[in-house]
Amino acid sequence: MTNERTAGSDRAREELFSAVYEGRDDTVVALLRSGVPAEATDPDGQSVLYAAAVSDEPGAVRVLLAAGADPERASGPDGGDLPLCGAACGGHTEVVLALLAAGARPDRREAYGFTALAWAVGQGHARTVEALLAHGADPALPGPGGGAPDGEPPLVTAARRGSPSTVRALLRHGADAREEALAEARRWTAPEAVEHELHAELLPMAGTGGGDETVVRRIEEDGGVTIVVETLKDGVPVASLERQTGHGAIATVLEESLGIRTPFEELAGRALRCGVPGRDDWREPVAALWRRGDEESFEAALAWCA
């Protein structure tokens, strides 16, 4: 009889995870009311709250939290995965807000030293970054990487990622390391720099075995273009990397924040390299020149028109 009850409990936990993955919030509620614990875990040690967080199921997350799930409880095989970090990595802003409201600490580190902000910044999830900062995340708290002994400042990570929206959010909340971030942004302003570097980074990750194929996709989003480079084996992706291309806009924003007067030719060149008025790499340099409104810029513009 004990074994039967245990098996029933195991099946109920499996059903709870299935309901979360399939977005069946009513079933989640029913199972919790029947006695399935809100702190249930799967055979790999993953908590059901973490599963809901990474699956972008805000309804299930709220139900689990209301039923007593701990927003701070780490899970996974090594106990190093935090629900807030899992949600932030995927850019699941609504889930992030629910976890923060329930008491998740925005600056808590999980395995390998990542915070929720480090994940969101590295992935270019500007809305999630803004939500974390608004709830007290430290805009200067270093994340892992960058070669620095204490980790890399978020603003530098954002500059490398190429997301102007993320950079603006960090600056609004007082992020430092602006000079380092500017140097990083300037490294990537050449049109071919991002794709070339992604290919170079991807090669050791995917291996060089016969039959590999590399494909490049360009996605219009966040005021610019995201370049995705994937390696396929037999038509199946085996590794991929992505980066946004708003580095010209980022360099312009950072220069203005530092009081640097960038030459007219350089700003105009950034806009022309972009060539699309709706993108940040066009808008920011043109806006910077417009805000000057001085004789020097006016004469330079006349010379270009001539």
54 or 209, higher pLDDT: 54
Structural class in CATH, domain 2-179 = mainly alpha
Burial 15-36 (b: 16+ CB within 10 A, else e): bbbebbeeebbebbbebbeeeb
For 255-303, the pLDDT digits (tens) are: 999 999 999 989 999 998 898 999 999 999 999 998 987 888 788 778 8
Tell me how many degrees the CA angle 25-42-113 measures, rounded to the nearest 5. Answer: 100
The answer to whether 40 touches 46, Cβ cutoff 8 Å, is no
Amino acid at 89: C
For 220-254, the pLDDT digits (tens) are: 998 999 999 998 888 888 889 999 999 999 999 99
Pairing status of strand 236-244 against strand 212-221: unpaired
- Where is 252: in which H helix or E strand? helix 247-257
- d(Cα 67, Cα 55) in Å, to the nearest integer? 19
- d(Cα 141, Cα 186) in Å, to the nearest integer? 23
Comparing CA positions, the residue from 100, 244, 99, 272 lying closest to residue 185 is: 244
Global confidence as pTM: 0.90
The answer to whether 119 touches 147, Cβ cutoff 8 Å, is no
**Confidence band of 147 (pLDDT split at 50, 70, 90):** low
DSSP lists the bridge partners of residue 237 as 232
Q: Give the gyration radius of the chain's Cα atoms.
A: 23
For 61-70, the pLDDT digits (tens) are: 999 999 999 9
Average pLDDT of the residues in 126-138: 98
pLDDT at 150 over 60: yes
Hey, where are the domains in the chain? 2-179, 194-203+211-244, 247-305
CA dihedral 182, 86, 172, 176 (to 10 degrees): -40
Give Cα 286 to chain centroid, integer Å: 27
